[in-house]
Each structure stands twice: as structure tokens, then as C-alpha cells.
Structure 1
């Protein structure tokens, strides 16, 4: 077998497809390997570049292959798809592995950093908490809807639900019988159990923030709470992988879509690409910062107040979330501390022009 220099891997639960080429881009190996034999097969290879899509278990396998001496690169699925033969009309594991291998050989391809086990352990907390919150919301809506069928109308909001549910359940004027009351009471017990699960997750997140130096610096940003801080530190890892704050904001999907041509710039709505959970937390933090900006006198708060008066509430939320993303990048990548009265000077500005920045995001 000729020496393999690059391998594309299409991950799956049980059967994993690999596609390897040599230094002349000639196909050397193309085969399917069982999950059990996957590490053994790579252990017998000379170290090479291994590319995989950033999907389920990709970070785990990335760490395993890195320990074997291989150079691992993860590619976002949407960046590998254009290299698949047949396009979106033809898809199988062999073509996917070949497309991943081809994409990894492009000189300007962008890659996803392999997360450490510590990062993924923290993200487990966030995913479990997010699932508990979704389950609680669905259950509260279900209980509220069942009470409406018997003429018990509760005010909107989960706090109001907690305050009035038991009273509505025990109201003897409704047509609820004993079995229905018992079923709704069991639902209420489940809501309380979910509250305890969410509170436990919040406590663990607070502990993570307390013992992480990067998280402590980020906590100083106005409108950024422990959840956002913990999720950012665990998701991003090394912020220096992003060239600048605008690239980080573009990765989160807080910059506008472009449909520019012929020298004319056309900007649309925000792209909403990247990590949905982290972007949602940033917008919640932006909402808090905008709401309380009129009570502060620092430069950033004055800018928020002036922007809201000029463009309105919702556009201000997007602008503040974008600015928060850039601030987070500066704190994590450069080790800086948050200063709400910070003023950029010519010596601190990056030399890239606006046009170059657009090119960086679109490349």
C-alpha cells in the first residue's frame, strides 16, 4: 500500500467509511470498517491527516486518533457537502467520505476545533438543563390546557402558574373528578421535580464559573450571566482560533446575510448560523443589557440608549448581541478585562478594511 497522507472518515454508529489518498491525490484505500476495529486500523497506520465531519462522536474519535499520533481536522457538514459527487441528489457513505477527504485538502478550508473531555463534560450540564426546561414548558402548557377544558383559566407566565395551579386544582366548583384531579396533581409533582433538576444544573454551572479564570473575566460583561459564561467557555475552548471578533460573531450567526454583487452591498437578516443555544443566551443577555441601559452612565450603555432611539428595540438587541460576541472574543482570545468605557484608538484598530473583513467571513 502506498503511503497515505490524508483520510476522509464518514462516521456512523456501527460501520465507518474511510477514503484515503496519497501525496499525489491518488486513491489508496476505500473501505468500510466496523466501529470495534476502527481504532485498531488507525493504530497500524503511519501518522497522517484525518478529516471527519463535526457530528455526533466526532470529538471523541478526534481525541482518540490524536492520541495515536494522527493530525485530526473536523469539518462542518455544510462545508463538505459541495465536494460530494452527485451533489444533493446522490448520497451514500462512500461519497461522503470522499467529499470529506477532498474538502480537507482545500488550502482555505475552515475547521472545527476538537473539544476536550472537560469541555464536553460542562456542555452535558447545559444540554440536560435545556432539555429539562423544554420538558417543563411543555408540561406546564399541557396542565394549563387541561384546566381550561374545565373553566379554570390561569394567568400567563410560569410564576403565575405556580402561584395559582394548586388553588385551581382544588376548586370544587369545577367539573374535575377524582381521577382527573389525581392525574393533574401528579403532573404538578413532575413540574416540581423538574424545577429541582434545573436548580441542580444551575448550581453546577455556577461552580464551573467560580473555578474558571476565563469565566470570571467574562462575568464582568453587562448582561452576561453564569449560563452564558459557562456555555461560551465550554463551547469555544480556544478563542484564538478565530482571527478577530467579527469572525467569531459571524460564526455565532449574529451578522447579516449578504447578497452582494457588482460592487453593490446588499445585507439581509442575520444568518442564525452556528450554535443555536449559545446565540439564544447572547440574545437573552442583550435583552437584559438593553432594558437596564438607561440606568447606567458608562459609554457602552449610552451607545445602547442612543441606538435604541434611532433604530428601535429589536435591531438594538441584534446589535448588542453582536457587540457582546466581539467583547467575549477579545476577553477570551487576548486575556483582556471588560471596560464599559473603552474607546478604540488607531493603534488598537486592526489593519483589515471593511471589505477585507467581509471577505474573511464569506471565505
Structure 2
């Protein structure tokens, strides 16, 4: 029987910060989609991105623009106010998470891993009460949901799609971090990362990102278990 270690009060508090921030981001996305959808009914469409939403709110704030009815204008103005409040609240939570990160020695060590920023580092430290309960980095990666399904039989090993079982929040953060590493490598060159170069040559970017996220998760587990710091591979030091 495998027992779950008890988290500290500080870890639980940090997880509340992350969960609240994640909820507010979903609410922010829903609010933006509502603003776009309501104004699209009046034939007012804006480009994708933050500037596009701001343009839509400027249209609503203009009383001389007769394309929108007064009832719709009042409702969208309420959504715009809610959107600004959500952005301010998310920014405040970001500051709190960053302060928690700076106060945690383990979180600062994890921050040196490529693709792992303060958000992922604090989420890992807060979520994993005792890293040694996992027998290996693969077990830790499987717990997050970053390993392929096993469909082996008769001595033949057959790997399927990524299981996606486990901690969805951590999996999303690892995937986003891996995509950031790949994007940076494509802009500044990948000659110092031969493993990533070979992977991108034979696999699509998103598939390579999952493989890289798996690798990053194993590195993070090793650092948390041993209490060591991340060291750049020899290829990156050239």
C-alpha cells in the first residue's frame, strides 16, 4: 500500500494560490470570449489578442457608435469591468507566487531547469510533499501523465498515445515550458541541443514538446530527490 505524505501548511497555501489563479484565468478567457461573441452578433469583430479585446471595449465606450444597442452596450461594459478586475487579481496572485518562490530554496533550485519558471517550480514544490515516494523519474512522469500507454503483449512492446492521467495542471505547465524551450531553440539555433535537434527532425513540434516535457519532469524529480542543482549538459557549455 502506498501512502500519501502530508503537505505542510505552506505547501497547501501555495497550492491555493495556484488553483485560484488557474480559476481566474479560466474566468478571464470566458469573459473575453463572451465580449467577442456578443459584439460579433452586431458585426463587430476584432483581431485575436489583447489589443483586439481593447478595441472592442473602446467601441462599446463610444456613445456615438450606433452599431451597438444601449442594452448590449451596458452588458458588455459590465463584462469589460469584470475583465479589468480579473486581470488585476491575476497580477496580484502572480506577485504572491513570485514572493513564495523567492522564499523557497527548493523552488529556486528548480528554476534553473530550462523551461521551468517560478510558476512551475512553486507548483512542483507545493504538490510534491516527498519526492522519494516515486521509485524513479519515470514513475514521477507517469504520475503527471507524460508517458505513453503500454499495450504490450507476448513479449512485444507497443506504446500508445500519452496517457494524460495524473495531474493535469502540472502536465500543462511542463508542456508549456517545453514549447518555450523549443521556440527559443528555433529562434537562437539548436546546434547546442543535439537530442532536441534529432527529435524535431523526425517528429512534429507538439510531439517533441511532450517528449521534452517528460525529460524535464525526470530532471525535476532527480533534483528534488537529491537536493542538487541543475548543471548544463557539456554540449551547451561549448
TM-score (norm. length: structure 1): 0.61
**Match in the other structure for 1:111:** 3
Larger mean Cα displacement after TM superposition, 231-240 or 306-315: 306-315
Distance across 1 between alignment mates of 2:226 and 2:234: 15
1:1-363 superposed matches below 5 A = 109-157=1-49, 159-169=50-60, 170=62, 172-294=64-186, 295=188, 299=192, 301-341=193-233
Give the conservation status (yes or no) of the 8 Å contact 2:110–2:116. yes
Q: For CA contacts below 8 A with separation 6 or more, give which structure has more relative contact order.
A: 2
Structure 1 residue 114: Cα displacement: 2.2
Q: Displacement of 1:298 after TM fit?
A: 7.6
Q: CA deviation at 1:181?
A: 1.2
Provide the C-alpha distance between the structure 2 equivalents of 1:298 and 1:229, rounded to a whole number of angstroms.
27
Q: Deviations over 1:115-164 (max 9, x none)?
A: 2222111100001000100011001101110000111101122x133431
Residue 167 of structure 1 deviates from its aligned partner by: 2.7
- For residues 296 and 240 of structure 1, what CA distance do their matches in structure 2 show? 36
CA distance in 2, matches of 1:261, 1:306: 29
Return the offset for 1:256.
0.5
Contact 2:179–2:206 (CA under 8 A) maintained in structure 1 = no
Q: Deviations over 1:30-67 (max 9, x none)?
A: xxxxxxxxxxxxxxxxxxxxxxxxxxxxxxxxxxxxxx
**How many Å apart are 1:177 and its aligned residue?**
2.5
Indicate if the aligned counterparts of 2:190 and 2:197 stay in contact, CA closer than 8 A.
Answer: no
Q: 1:247 to 1:185 in 2, by over 3 A?
A: same
Summarize deviations over 1:58-116 as a string: whole Å, max 9, x none.
xxxxxxxxxxxxxxxxxxxxxxxxxxxxxxxxxxxxxxxxxxxxxxxxxxx33322222
Greater fraction strand: 1
For residues 67 and 42 of structure 2, the distance between their equivalents in structure 1, rounded to whole angstroms, comes to: 6
Number of equivalenced pairs: 233
- Classify 1:188/1:202 alpha carbon distance in 2 versus 1 (closer, same or farther; 3 Å): same
- Give the secondary structure class of the aligned counterpart of 2:228: coil
Higher helix share: 2
Task: Say which one has the larger Rg.
Answer: 1
Structure 2 CA distance for aligned equivalents of residues 310 and 151 of structure 1: 44
Listed as ranges, the gaps of 5+ residues in structure 1 are: 1-108, 344-363
1:298–1:340: 8 Å Cα contact kept in structure 2?
no
TM-score, normalized by length of structure 2? Answer: 0.92
Q: Judging changes above 3 Å, is the alpha-carbon distance between structure 1 residues 226 and 130 closer, same or farther for their aligned structure 2 residues?
A: same
For residue 290 of structure 1, give the secondary structure of its aligned residue in structure 2.
helix
Q: CA RMSD of the aligned region, Å?
A: 1.8
